[in-house]
A and B are shown apart, each in its own frame.
Chain A
Amino acid sequence: MAGMSPSERRLQKELMSLIKEPPPGVSVDTNIAEQNLLHWVIHMEGAAGTLYEGERFQLQFKFSNKYPFDSPEVTFIGNNIPVHPHVYSNGHICLSILTDDWSPALSVQSVCLSIVSMLSSCKEKQRPPDNTFYVKTCNKNPKKTKWWYHDDSV
């Protein structure tokens, strides 16, 4: 691991542990991550017994060289964006740990688990009420959005 920047060192460690002990329903695309440690794609399965059972999603993580002090940019990508009150149809996710509540002690794994649990607690599949407007007007980078975090109970 010589010659790596601190963020690459940490990402390499996270990648190894995610490959070795992936949380249930979560797997990392090792080809993509090994090509460029600052860009990961995660495959995620909807948990059994939830509204998303049987669905498969893809999450994209983009890291800056300030990671883990700077939060990763996390979006759903691909042709199946989960229909959820906190997930916009362009893949942007309204989740406070991705911006205001980010902490360098969080990790790709803990972000994935938060997203799995966010999906799992959903009671009704629907887009956020401001989806159309937001998707038309937002920045490509969800971290540029000044999110107003609504209730986390949904």
Chain B
Amino acid sequence: MASSANEDVKGSTGDEGHNSETKDEEKKDDSIFECNICLDTARDAVVSLCGHLFCWPCLHQWLETRPNRQVCPVCKAAISKEKVVPLYGRGSTKQEDPREKVPPRPAGQRTEPEPGTSFPGFGFGDNSFHMSFGIGAFPFGFFTSTFNFGDPRPAAAAHGTHQHMEEQFLSKIFLWLAILFLTWLLMA
């Protein structure tokens, strides 16, 4: 993408385009990989969940500077050591181990994709999800059980707890299932 943008610029300036101008353009393209703190090309790069790029040493120093108020330097979103993602470019896995450096860069986290065959949502009977797949009752029964927004469910967990997150996750899955089912009905 960057190279095509460069070609556009070159094309518009034509043959008279000076070398220095194209160089500047290239520099500007590079600047999207600059650390937001030291303004150099990010080394031991990490990216925050809000998408902002930093050198890990730079970000670490900032987090140390204000330990009780850790916000993204760019957008002020909450930020923490645990929630930054290291970026490994092709050339970045050289012999030198980034962990040798102080401070160690947080490691990348991998979550295994869920196995596609067994759906963990089914058989969750004792919870507040009741799915009725009887075609007659569909879609109303389906909708009332799935779209219970703001419903004061007696079993609802307190906001922010792990269980609550799980429930939200599940209801999202059910919502998608409903959409899939609907499209399937329409297609059929």
Most A CB atoms within 10 A — which of B36, B39, B73?
A: B39
The reply to whether B61 and A10 form a contact with Cβ atoms under 8 Å apart is: no
Most B CB atoms within 10 A — which of A6, A10, A14, A104?
A: A104
From A13, A14, A70, A103, contact of B76 by CB (8 A): A103
- Interface residue B37 (Cβ < 8 Å from any Cβ of A): yes
Take A9-B38, A13-B39 as given contacts and tell me if A105 and B74 are in contact as well, using a CB distance cutoff of 8 Å.
yes
The reply to whether B40 and A103 form a contact with Cβ atoms under 8 Å apart is: no
Main secondary structure of the interface of B (DSSP, over half): loop
Take A10-B39, A13-B39 as given contacts and tell me if A104 and B58 are in contact as well, using a CB distance cutoff of 8 Å.
yes
- Interface residue A72 (Cβ < 8 Å from any Cβ of B): no
The reply to whether B40 and A104 form a contact with Cβ atoms under 8 Å apart is: no
Residue of A nearest to B59 (CB): A104
- Interface residue B62 (Cβ < 8 Å from any Cβ of A): yes
Cα distance A70–B61 in the bound complex, in angstroms: 11
Cα distance A103–B65 in the bound complex, in angstroms: 11
From A10, A13, A104, contact of B62 by CB (8 A): A104
Residue of A nearest to B24 (CB): A20
Residue of A nearest to B58 (CB): A104
- Interface residue A46 (Cβ < 8 Å from any Cβ of B): no
- Interface residue A85 (Cβ < 8 Å from any Cβ of B): no
Cα distance A10–B65 in the bound complex, in angstroms: 18
Residue of A nearest to B74 (CB): A105
Which B residues lie at the A interface, using CB under 8 A?
A: 36-40, 52, 58, 61-62, 65, 71, 73-74, 76
Instruction: Please list 11 pairs of residues, one from A and one from B, whose beta carbons are closer than 8 Å in the complex, sorted by A's number.
Output: A6-B38, A9-B40, A10-B38, A10-B39, A13-B39, A13-B40, A68-B37, A68-B38, A69-B62, A104-B73, A106-B73
